[in-house]
């Protein structure tokens, strides 16, 4: 097995194929020092790709929830986000962290549901047409299965945290589509375009369902514009051998300069 295949097979991905601005569902206190903040979601919420990851969920204080906590010093902060989380595992294992006193909830979720890790593996190892077919498979799931899953997830978040402002964040568009070369085991331009198109559709779906639930949506694609994988100034890891779990996740700069401002703009 090649190093590229090994790294890809080890991915615990929670990103999108990747990749929600509504009216606030509930008004939070004006002073964030009074807030009780809970972070839910997948590896993009747990902070995979940043330094300081620990535990089976690979949580890092340098992901965007931890950075927001450090900058705003809320009354309480708890992250139950976990690498590899899906809407089903979020509902079964993370919602117990919420209650009627929760003031702020943030969440990224949905990328794993549509099979991002397997898509990245297929796109790296197969042809351009094989990659496009795999992305189409994920988009079929997005259309047929994810509406009910998103609606159930958002409904249960609101039931558990009836007084919270809930911010749903999207996923970056992963790849620069113009660079002719994409490094070690890099994607061709047609593959990058297929994956990016899938991310756009995923974000559209998340946004629609988050806004229908009365949650705030924060689209991070503007913050990450010009900083895709293969580009001259990437804020996302490409294929990473050590540790492989960092692959296709934001760098520390991506969380600090991409996700954190996107969250702040929603608040």
Catalytic residue check, 51: no
Examine the pLDDT at 27 and tell me if it is beyond 60.
no
Q: Per-residue pLDDT tens for 214-248?
A: 999 999 999 999 999 999 999 999 988 889 999 99
In tens, the pLDDT along 180-191 reads 888 767 889 999
**Annotated active-site residue in 209, 227, 237, 249:** 249
Q: What percent of the chain has pLDDT over 70?
A: 88
Which entry of 43, 83, 194, 221 is annotated as an active-site residue? 43
Q: What is the pLDDT of residues 100-138, one digit of tens each?
A: 999 999 999 999 999 988 998 899 889 999 999 999 999
Residue 3 has pLDDT above 60, yes or no: no
Domains assigned to the chain: 3-266 (3.40.50.1110)
- Determine whether 45 is an active site residue: no
Average pLDDT over residues 198-226: 97
- Residue 138's pLDDT is 96
Please tell me the pTM assigned to this model. 0.86
Q: Which positions ≥6 away from 143 have C-beta within 8 Å?
A: none
């Amino acid at each position: 097995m090649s190093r590229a295949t090994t790294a890809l097979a080890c991915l615990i991905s929670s990103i999108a194929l990747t990749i929600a601005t509504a009216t606030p569902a509930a008004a939070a206190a004006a002073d964030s020092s009074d807030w009780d903040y809970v972070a839910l979601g997948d590896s993009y919420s747990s902070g995979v790709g940043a330094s300081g990851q620990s535990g089976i969920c690979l949580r890092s204080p340098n992901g965007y929830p931890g950075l927001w906590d450090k900058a705003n010093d809320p009354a309480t902060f708890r992250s139950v986000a976990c690498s590899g989380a899906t809407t089903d595992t979020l509902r079964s294992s993370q919602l117990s962290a919420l209650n009627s006193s929760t003031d702020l909830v943030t969440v990224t979720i949905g990328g794993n549901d549509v099979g991002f890790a397997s898509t990245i593996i297929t796109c790296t190892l197969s042809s351009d047409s094989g990659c496009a077919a795999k992305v189409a498979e994920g988009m079929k799931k997005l259309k047929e299965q994810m509406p009910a899953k998103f609606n159930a997830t958002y409904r249960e978040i609101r039931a558990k945290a009836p007084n919270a402002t809930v911010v749903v964040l999207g996923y970056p568009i992963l790849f620069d589509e113009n660079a002719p070369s994409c490094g070690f085991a890099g994607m061709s331009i047609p593959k990058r375009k297929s994956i990016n198109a899938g991310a756009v559709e995923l974000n559209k779906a998340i946004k629609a369902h988050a806004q229908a639930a009365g949650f705030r949506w924060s689209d991070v694609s503007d913050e990450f514009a010009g900083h895709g994988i293969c580009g001259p100034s990437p804020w996302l890891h490409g294929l990473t051998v050590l540790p492989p779990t960092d692959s296709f996740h934001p760098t520390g700069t991506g969380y600090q300069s991409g996700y954190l401002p996107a969250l702040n703009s929603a608040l």
